[in-house]
């Protein structure tokens, strides 16, 4: 007997368990107008977040469906139970692989007019910008990062750190006494005479460091701030350069992790529902995979996918293409590129993978030595019907993710 799902408030996590986060749907109170029923989750009854549609036609937040399936064996759709308490039909069973991303509803929800409900804040906009605002809202209550236990408005955090945070202390470099910011302003010892020349280390529970220079000492003498200001600017410039270097290093490491050097490449594409919608609207028509190689010093190639099709497959099929790119060792490689290429769309239930393959047309410019960054793509404009890609009968898209595999015959 299938078990009933539940929406008991003490079982389902709160709509906002952490600061400004709504993993189980957005509260309807943020909407300017009463949201249509089709925009509400069948479980939490909030505005859908990452909407999924089940086989029975009802919609759930992605996180809600995951929670239900994880906590209820053979879960039955709650809406189906409300419509017919005796229902136990196969179509009403809930499972991750029996639901698919509802791109159309997600697009409509992203355009809903909303406003911030934090007291004092007057922000309004559309749903797709709501979470970004929540992370910046000056009126939002946030915990002090020093771990002092205080929760303050974001706009008042600096004042709290300066005047009220017990963990934000300054160490006098002369007497080594730990002082709050206000205490330090009144502090007097032999070491104070040199404060205009020495930046003071500020210690918090998170071991942060900053420069704390009072403008006027206890006796009313104004210190020179020019030297320290120059030093701060110099340090800021150095940090900016280091950040840029770290960012470049991060990209290089990420590329190294994703790169393949044996002619076999597995491409994980996430957020498929939104990317398919972007392809339909023309916002982002195609996606390129990271580059991979036939060997360590071999051909450099990548994949290009049109989720809503290209050419003969536009609007009806997913199109998949192979791209020869300009590589560092092209001068040593034989041309044209002549290796057999096999495409696979993996069924995540390991039942029916989609496989297609081709051998390069040696007269095509697509397979000659590249003179630009990449050649014209070549491949399968009608790789897979969209109806099959989106059908809940198959597991090509699961948890809004699909996997494409390319195998280059390098023998």
Structurally, the chain folds into a number of domains equal to: 3
Could you tell me if 212 and 275 lie in one domain? no
One pLDDT digit (tens) per residue for the chain, 411 residues: 333 333 443 343 333 333 334 557 888 888 988 888 889 988 888 899 888 888 888 889 888 888 888 887 778 888 888 887 776 677 788 887 788 888 888 899 989 999 988 888 888 999 888 888 887 888 888 887 777 777 888 888 877 777 777 777 666 767 777 666 566 666 666 544 444 334 344 444 434 444 444 444 444 444 454 456 666 767 777 777 776 666 656 555 555 555 788 899 999 999 999 999 999 988 899 999 999 999 989 999 999 999 999 998 999 999 999 999 999 999 999 999 999 999 999 999 888 899 999 999 999 999 999 999 999 999 999 999 999 998 888 899 999 999 999 999 987
- For 205, the token pair is 């529970």
Please report the sign of the dihedral spanned by the C-alpha atoms of residue 311, residue 313, residue 319, residue 322: negative
Question: Which among 82, 116, 136 is the end of a domain?
Answer: 136
The residue range of the domain holding 85 is 3-136
Instruction: Please report the pLDDT score of residue 288 as a whole number.
Output: 93
Instruction: Please report the pLDDT score of residue 5 as a whole number.
Output: 37
Instruction: Please report the pLDDT score of residue 181 as a whole number.
Output: 59
Could you tell me if 320 and 400 lie in one domain? yes
255 is a domain residue: no
Could you tell me if 186 and 167 lie in one domain? yes
Could you tell me if 128 and 191 lie in one domain? no
Nearest by Cα to 337 from 315, 366, 308, 314: 366
Could you tell me if 273 and 391 lie in one domain? yes
Listed in sequence order, the residues at least 6 apart from 209 whose beta carbon sits closer than 8 Å to its beta carbon are 201, 202, 203
Could you tell me if 65 and 171 lie in one domain? no
- CATH number, domain with residue 394: 2.60.210.10
Instruction: Please report the pLDDT score of residue 319 as a whole number.
Output: 96
- For 6, the token pair is 């539940």
Instruction: Please report the pLDDT score of residue 184 as a whole number.
Output: 62
Alpha-helix residue ranges (DSSP H) falling in 319-400: 386-390
Dist. CA 141–CA 153, nearest whole Å? 4
Instruction: Please report the pLDDT score of residue 177 as a whole number.
Output: 72
End-to-end distance of the chain based on CA atoms, in angstroms? 55
Could you tell me if 215 and 149 lie in one domain? yes
Give the Å distances, CA to CA, from 50 to 46, 47, 63, 67: 12, 10, 8, 14
Could you tell me if 384 and 273 lie in one domain? yes
Could you tell me if 393 and 272 lie in one domain? yes
Q: Are 118 and 136 in contact (CB under 8 A)?
A: no
Instruction: Please report the pLDDT score of residue 185 as a whole number.
Output: 63
369 is a domain residue: yes
18 is a domain residue: yes
List strand residue ranges (DSSP E) for 160-309, in order: 169-171, 178-179, 202-203, 264-269, 287-288, 292-293, 300-306
233 is a domain residue: no
Could you tell me if 120 and 185 lie in one domain? no
Instruction: Please report the pLDDT score of residue 156 as a whole number.
Output: 83
- Give the pairing type, strands 292-293 and 287-288: unpaired
Give the Å distances, CA to CA, from 396 to 267, 348, 352: 13, 6, 9
Give the Å distances, CA to CA, from 324 to 118, 185, 228, 251, 408: 52, 66, 54, 22, 12
Could you tell me if 303 and 404 lie in one domain? yes
Dist. CA 330–CA 367, nearest whole Å? 12
Alpha-helix residue ranges (DSSP H) falling in 129-173: 130-136, 157-163
Beta-carbon-side half-sphere exposure of residue 65 (alpha carbons within 13 Å):
30
Backbone angles phi, psi at 303, to 5 degrees: -110, 155
236 is a domain residue: no
Please report the sign of the dihedral spanned by the C-alpha atoms of residue 36, residue 39, residue 43, residue 46: negative
- CATH number, domain with residue 63: 3.30.40.10
Dist. CA 390–CA 392, nearest whole Å? 6
21 is a domain residue: yes
Question: Which among 136, 169, 190 is the end of a domain?
Answer: 136
What's the distance, CA 199 to chain centroid? 39
Instruction: Please report the pLDDT score of residue 196 as a whole number.
Output: 38
373 is a domain residue: yes
175 is a domain residue: yes
Dist. CA 411–CA 409, nearest whole Å? 6
Could you tell me if 275 and 352 lie in one domain? yes
Dist. CA 281–CA 277, nearest whole Å? 6
Alpha-helix residue ranges (DSSP H) falling in 45-85: 62-71, 78-83
Rounded to the nearest 10 degrees, what angle do helices 272-281 and 103-110 cross at?
Answer: 80
- Bridge partners, residue 321, by sequence: 304, 379
Q: Are 396 and 345 in contact (CB under 8 A)?
A: yes
Dist. CA 79–CA 100, nearest whole Å? 17
Question: Which among 224, 249, 274 is the end of a domain?
Answer: 224
Nearest by Cα to 277 from 96, 125, 55, 51: 51
Nearest by Cα to 91 from 42, 55, 65, 58: 55
Instruction: Please report the pLDDT score of residue 244 as a whole number.
Output: 67
Dist. CA 175–CA 189, nearest whole Å? 7
């Amino acid at each position: 007997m299938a078990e009933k799902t539940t929406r008991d408030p003490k079982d389902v996590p709160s709509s906002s368990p952490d600061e400004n986060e709504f993993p189980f749907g957005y509260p309807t109170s943020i909407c300017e107008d009463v949201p249509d029923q089709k925009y509400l989750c069948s479980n939490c009854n909030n505005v859908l977040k990452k909407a999924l549609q089940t086989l029975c036609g009802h919609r759930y937040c992605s996180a809600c469906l995951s929670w239900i399936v994880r906590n209820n064996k053979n879960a039955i759709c709650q809406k189906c139970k409300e419509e017919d308490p005796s229902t136990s039909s196969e179509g009403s069973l809930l499972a991750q692989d029996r639901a698919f991303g509802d791109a159309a509803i997600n697009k409509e929800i992203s355009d809903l007019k909303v406003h911030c409900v934090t007291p004092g804040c007057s922000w309004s906009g559309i749903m797709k910008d709501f979470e970004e605002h929540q992370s910046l809202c000056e009126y939002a209550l946030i915990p002090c990062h020093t771990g002092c236990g205080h929760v303050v408005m974001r706009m008042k955090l600096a004042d709290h750190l300066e005047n009220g945070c017990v963990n934000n202390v300054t160490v006098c470099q002369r007497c080594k006494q730990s002082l709050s910011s206000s205490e330090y302003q009144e502090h007097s010892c032999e070491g104070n005479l040199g404060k205009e020349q020495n930046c003071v280390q500020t210690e918090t529970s998170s071991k942060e460091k900053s420069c704390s220079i009072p403008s006027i000492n206890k006796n009313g003498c104004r210190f020179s701030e020019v030297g320290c200001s120059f030093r701060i600017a110099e340090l800021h410039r150095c940090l900016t350069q280091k950040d840029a270097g770290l960012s470049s290093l991060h990209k290089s490491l990420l590329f190294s992790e994703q790169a393949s050097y044996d002619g076999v490449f597995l491409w994980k594409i996430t957020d498929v529902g939104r990317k398919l919608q972007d392809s339909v609207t023309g916002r982002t028509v195609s996606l390129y995979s990271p580059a991979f190689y036939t060997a360590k010093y071999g051909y450099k190639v990548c994949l290009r996918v049109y989720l809503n099709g290209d050419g003969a497959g536009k609007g009806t099929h997913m199109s998949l293409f192979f791209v020869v790119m300009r590589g560092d060792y092209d001068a040593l490689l034989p041309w044209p590129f002549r290796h057999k290429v096999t495409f696979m769309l993996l069924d995540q239930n390991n039942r029916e993978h989609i496989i297609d393959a081709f051998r390069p047309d040696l007269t095509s410019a697509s397979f000659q030595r590249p003179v630009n960054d990449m050649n014209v793509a070549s491949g399968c404009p009608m790789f897979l019907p969209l109806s099959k890609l989106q059908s809940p009968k198959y597991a090509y898209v699961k948890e809004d993710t699909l996997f494409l595999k390319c195998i280059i015959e390098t023998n």
